[in-house]
Structure 1
Amino acid sequence: MSDPTPATTPPTAPKPKSRLVPVIAGTAFLALGAVAYFQFFSARPAASQTNQQQPASRPASANGNVVAKVNGQAITYEEVARECYNRHGAEVLDTLVNRLMIQQACAQRNITVTKAEVEQEVVDIAKKFNLPLDTWYSMLEAERGLNREQYHADIIWPMIALKKLAGKEVQVTEQDMQVGFERDYGPRVKARLILVQGNVRQANSIWEQCQAKPDEFDRIAREFSADPNSRPLGGVFPPIRRHGGSKALEDAAFKLKVGEISPVVQLEQNQYVILKCEGLTEPVVTDIKVVWNDLYNQLVEEKTQQSVAEVFKGLEERAQVTNYLTRQTTGPQTIRQVSAESAAPTAGPTANAPGTTTLK
């Protein structure tokens, strides 16, 4: 999702994404209270579901349809609207579709979200970070391009509505607490890593080189690893924790002694890793009682986010959506084809996602 506001500082070259992040990062807790919900809703202006936001009125002019003149030549409201539609229509439409699905589900179950609930949720989020409310709104404007009304309508209202649709209070068990404590506060394996994108023969060939010259693991990693982040560092990788992502990787890492090299570990199809153990980190907290309340609240938030994501996914799977902008339809039933005259024009062909039908 692109940032809706221009950058205020010179752009820098993007850092290469680690190919291992989806596998190893796992379910890391998202610090920004409502940030998990940005994946569902575009950070673009849209109508409010709390009836706070009024539609923008056309600017007054001698001719109500003219919004500007250049050397006497008019630029009309329709021209501006068409440019906005062409540039941002798909993202705004996604936001409206997503929110309407939620609104319909709430109406079916007589669920309402009040203006007071929305405002209180924002207050609570700001308090989590010890920020004054005005500072929180300013930060959202600067970092996400969201003004107050957009934040309420596009993020907070759907978040509260989905929580209510999820219904049940999440339960955090003692087992959850122990797993969470091991994940966040337990020892981690310091290791160098070589990622192999290819077949097992390639991985075994590199592993044999590591076994033959274990002291040159860093050189071998710089030469052969497919991970762009760790390769320049000789395979140095963030310490591997328990319950953080790939069980196969974790099991292999925690079996190693200092200086040992792991067998070839398969993460996914045609994706393998080789580890060299460099020791364990020292836990900062060893008694779960010290962090019990903070950890409990964190796990409640994580489980709530998971529940909300599942509810939203269910709404998507059950909803029958005909998108005339992308000329696609999604949903459980097959929709008859729609004529091109009734469909919005597109810039070019779009690939069908699973469960979609292209409208003709």
Structure 2
Amino acid sequence: TPTHPLKRRRSRWVVLAGGTAAVLVGAVLLLQWSRPDARPASRKLQAGSKTAAVGTARVTKAPQNRPVARISTGSLTAMIYEEDLARECVQRIGREVLDNMINRMIIQLACQERGVTVTEEEVDQEILRISKEFNLDPQAWMEFLQAERNITPQQYRRDIIWPMLALKKLAGERVTITEADMQRAFQRHYGPRVKARMIMFDNIRRANAVWQEAMKHPEEFERLAREHSIDPTSRALDGKIPPIARFSGNEELEKAAFKLREGEISGIIHVGMNRYVILKCEGYTEQVVKDIEEVRPILYQELEKEKVQEMIARYFEDLRQQTRVDNYLTNTSTGGTRRATGPAPRTIRQAAGTTPQRRTEARR
């Protein structure tokens, strides 16, 4: 059917829904930040958490070091405490988790500065909209994500949907879609594609030597791909790659591919830094849809989503560059103008269960 290629893309999105994202490409998705929350800061605090109001933020006093496990054998007993568990977690996954928390806080502070809010109702509506695209109700969609991607409903709301909506509001721009954009998207999704095998290299001299051998013995191309390609996926398939579409991301590769006739071998194509490929054409696929008018509405929707995702990715990258981040765990600083020297300043921390936007920094 005319919508078949886009349905395939949407299926791939389902598989990747918990990863760079959908949006960010990425993201991307760039949108899997740790636990942003649009709810008010007046929720009940977790047991054992004592806070004192300071301006609009709360200072959290360190809770007692509770035991989390007890191990007994014979006459011996050992205890494992929260501090031990926290220390181990920081050593194993601390950098990744902190990175996510930093990204989340960058968005939160930007929202606070600009007076941007995302309500629970808006999150609910976005989840409903997305689930309808896959012909599921929200509950079934959440169950699918948890079963297939190990994403809990809470993580999905806070780590994916909330940041996406917040960044859309912060970016605050409407995307423009021209007829030229539509035509390129039409060719990308529905136009003919080049069926090919590929050998990839990270060294131009090695690429040249293998290319000369392939030109002498084109029937040996599969063996050469298996023995010399540095791309593990296509190497395992004797160089077989997905058909190459127009306007799919690498202009040099596409130009070279669409010049080939069936059975012909390309020259050496420079596709990126220290990356060179040789293609062997195995024919062309047929154009799926001939008239753009048959698919214009759905094509417009998909193109609008792509452009919004690109816009959000650019906006967040600008936001990161403008925001000073002093990472005391990795001893690095990015963005802004301050230097991260000396001990970490005393901070006003978010109390457990409160909204992230309440965290600020206090100086003595």
> TM-score, structure 1 length as denominator?
0.77
Rounded to whole Å, the distance in 2 between the matches of 1:330 and 1:182 is 40
Q: Which amino acid aligns with 1:300?
A: E
Structure 1 match to 2:278: 274
Q: Is the 8 A contact 1:193 1:274 kept in 2?
A: yes
Matches within 5 A, 1:1-360: 31-32=13-14, 35-37=22-24, 39-42=29-32, 46=35, 48-51=37-40, 56-57=46-47, 65-71=66-72, 74-199=79-204, 201-339=205-343
Deviations 1:147-178 (A, max 9, x none): 22222222211110100011111111111110
1:304 to partner: Cα distance: 0.5
Deviations 1:44-82 (A, max 9, x none): 5x46233497654469xxx99445544576544444444
Q: Which amino acid aligns with 1:171?
A: T
> TM-score, structure 2 length as denominator?
0.76
Q: Is the 8 A contact 1:317 1:332 kept in 2?
A: yes
Q: Which amino acid aligns with 1:318?
A: Q
Q: Is the 8 A contact 1:58 1:77 kept in 2?
A: no
DSSP-derived class of the 1:248 partner? helix
Decide whether aligned partners of structure 1 residues 47 and 221 sit closer, same or farther in structure 2, where only a CA change above 3 A counts: closer
What residue ranges of structure 2 are gaps of 5+ in the alignment?
1-8, 50-63, 347-364
1:206 to partner: Cα distance: 1.9
DSSP-derived class of the 1:257 partner? coil
Rounded to whole Å, the distance in 1 between the matches of 2:91 and 2:226 is 45
Q: Is the 8 A contact 2:38 2:120 kept in 1?
A: no
Rounded to whole Å, the distance in 2 between the matches of 1:82 and 1:195 is 43
Rounded to whole Å, the distance in 2 between the matches of 1:194 and 1:74 is 56
Rounded to whole Å, the distance in 1 between the matches of 2:195 and 2:166 is 42
Rounded to whole Å, the distance in 2 between the matches of 1:107 and 1:340 is 23
1:85 to partner: Cα distance: 4.1
Q: Is the 8 A contact 2:328 2:344 kept in 1?
A: no
Higher relative contact order (CA 8 A, sep 6+): 2
Most deviating of 90-99 and 67-76: 67-76
1:104 to partner: Cα distance: 1.5
DSSP-derived class of the 1:94 partner? helix
Q: Which amino acid aligns with 2:167?
A: L
Rounded to whole Å, the distance in 2 between the matches of 1:83 and 1:226 is 36
Q: Which amino acid aligns with 1:212?
A: K
Deviations 1:244-267 (A, max 9, x none): 121111111111112222122122
Decide whether aligned partners of structure 1 residues 184 and 75 sit closer, same or farther in structure 2, where only a CA change above 3 A counts: same
Rounded to whole Å, the distance in 2 between the matches of 1:287 and 1:323 is 54
Decide whether aligned partners of structure 1 residues 222 and 80 sit closer, same or farther in structure 2, where only a CA change above 3 A counts: closer
DSSP-derived class of the 1:191 partner? strand
DSSP-derived class of the 1:193 partner? strand
Q: Is the 8 A contact 2:192 2:287 kept in 1?
A: yes
Rounded to whole Å, the distance in 2 between the matches of 1:223 and 1:78 is 51
1:117 to partner: Cα distance: 0.5
Rounded to whole Å, the distance in 1 between the matches of 2:230 and 2:90 is 40
Q: Which amino acid aligns with 1:39?
A: L
Runs (4+) off by over 6 Å = none
Rounded to whole Å, the distance in 2 between the matches of 1:56 and 1:150 is 19
Rounded to whole Å, the distance in 2 between the matches of 1:109 and 1:340 is 27
Decide whether aligned partners of structure 1 residues 278 and 125 sit closer, same or farther in structure 2, where only a CA change above 3 A counts: same
Rounded to whole Å, the distance in 2 between the matches of 1:94 and 1:331 is 14
Most deviating of 244-253 and 329-338: 329-338
Decide whether aligned partners of structure 1 residues 227 and 117 sit closer, same or farther in structure 2, where only a CA change above 3 A counts: same
What residue ranges of structure 1 are gaps of 5+ in the alignment?
1-27, 343-360
Q: Which amino acid aligns with 2:213?
A: Q
DSSP-derived class of the 2:339 partner? coil
Identity across matched positions, percent: 45
Decide whether aligned partners of structure 1 residues 86 and 223 sit closer, same or farther in structure 2, where only a CA change above 3 A counts: closer
Rounded to whole Å, the distance in 1 between the matches of 2:66 and 2:290 is 68
Number of aligned residues: 311
Q: Is the 8 A contact 2:222 2:239 kept in 1?
A: yes
Q: Is the 8 A contact 2:38 2:119 kept in 1?
A: no
Most deviating of 258-267 and 242-251: 258-267
Rounded to whole Å, the distance in 2 between the matches of 1:234 and 1:58 is 60
CA RMSD of aligned residues (A): 2.9
Deviations 1:112-153 (A, max 9, x none): 111110111111111111112112112222333332222222
Structure 2 match to 1:349: none
1:286 to partner: Cα distance: 1.5
